[in-house]
Amino acid sequence: MKRDIDKDTVGGQAAPAQQDKTTPMTMIQALRSAMDVMLGRSDDVVIYGQDVGYFGGVFRVTDGLQAKYGKQRVFDAPISEGGIVGTAVGMAAYGLRPVVEIQFADYFYPATDQIVSEAARLRYRSAGDFTAPLTIRMPCGGGIYGGQTHSQSPEAFFTHVCGLRTVMPSNPYDAKGLLIAAIENDDPVIFLEPKRLYNGPFDGHHDRPVVSWAKHPRGDVPEGYYTVPLDKAAVFREGADLTVLTYGTMVWVSEAAANETGIDAEIIDLRTLWPLDLETVVASVQKTGRCVVVHEATRTSGFGAELAALVQEHCFYHLEAPIERVTGWDTPYPHAQEWAYFPGPDRVGAAFKRAMEA
């Protein structure tokens, strides 16, 4: 019999209200806190993947959870992404809520059949009799000298698949609230985590000192339970000159470009790529009349192409200039030329200027 998390009660007792007390957290700590909260709220939540148990994950996101909840709730899996996701689909159909980690997003390809043909289709093919409430965590993106096999941003693969939700947070507060919402959701959620943001915001200036989340207001995270909606974008920065549609690390790069060019850009942090908060997107573009789309993934068939098409479809008569795209190049992520590939504030700022001068 399928069991759901009761959002109002835990173990028959009233669930705690959303917490007001906050503490500074890195994104790593915020994600760990989200899993800690959900493991404590429901025995149906299990966490596993390569090295996530005793070792605590390659980025230490699950550090200490096995010691707290035991080896039956938090455990290691073999190096088999297809096996990890395949077993998670079965667990989810039975009524559990597995949270599995693909060690790097670059490694999801062996699990493609299980993600696309099984997890994403289960609700449809069973006429709603079964769902697949599983969350697949994947560290993604570059900026850490990971080279071609540890730096990819594959979000567009998942937004193309009906039945999946695709999420990418840009800060610790959103990361925790979105992960809790993902675990509670009855659909499979691809949860992409920008590695370069794990320990602090990154504006694209790799030659400057690292900034800690402890010194940033978006690093203040409630200690207990709360959620961030999976279908709602955030106006990260209000502005009047142009709209920036972006997510993940590029939120911070876009903010740096706005500050350095003096262009009053309104930055929309999509947070959830699909389902997309089209209402917020359209309202912003209709207000500013200009749009720049920014993402780290390769350009051709990237998610930015879908965003540009939607803006053209819904905002055509409000546009004062062609839509600009700033992306990674259509090449493997080059280790030796990391910062030529990475869309930095100079490239983003140049797009801002083109949009304003058109």
Measured CA to CA, the distance from residue 128 to residue 120 in angstroms comes to: 12
| Neighbouring C-beta atoms of residue 43, cutoff 10 Å | 14
What is the average per-residue pLDDT within 114-132? 96
For residue 284, what pLDDT band results from cuts at 50, 70 and 90?
A: very high
pLDDT at 11 over 70: no
Break the chain into its structural domains and give their ranges.
Answer: 22-222, 234-357
pLDDT of residue 2: 37
Percent share of the chain, pLDDT over 70 = 95
Q: Residue 183: left if φ>0, alpha if ψ -120 to 50, beta else—which one?
A: alpha
pLDDT of residue 135: 98
pLDDT digits (tens, 9 = 90+) for 298-357: 999 999 999 999 999 999 999 999 999 999 999 999 989 999 999 999 999 999 999 999
pLDDT of residue 16: 40
Measured CA to CA, the distance from residue 314 to residue 323 in angstroms comes to: 13
The CATH architecture assigned to 22-222 reads 3-Layer(aba) Sandwich (3.40)
Residue 225 has what DSSP assignment? -
The verdict on pTM exceeding 0.75 is: yes
Measured CA to CA, the distance from residue 270 to residue 236 in angstroms comes to: 9
The yes or no reply on domain 234-357 and CATH 3.40.50.920 is: yes
Question: Which listed residue (150, 216, 295, 335) is catalytic?
Answer: 150
What is the average per-residue pLDDT within 279-294? 98
Name the phi and psi angles at 15, rounded to 5: -70, 145
pLDDT digits (tens, 9 = 90+) for 141-188: 988 788 888 889 999 999 999 999 999 999 999 999 999 999 999 999
What is the average per-residue pLDDT within 267-291? 98
pLDDT of residue 19: 52
Mean per-residue pLDDT of the chain: 93
pLDDT of residue 14: 34
Instruction: Evaluate the omega torsion of the peptide bond into residue 139 and state whether it is cis, within 30 degrees of 0.
Output: no
Hey, do 22-222 and 234-357 end up sharing a CATH topology, with the first three levels equal?
yes
* 150 is annotated as an active-site residue: yes
pLDDT at 5 over 80: no
Measured CA to CA, the distance from residue 101 to residue 155 in angstroms comes to: 16
| Neighbouring C-beta atoms of residue 4, cutoff 10 Å | 13
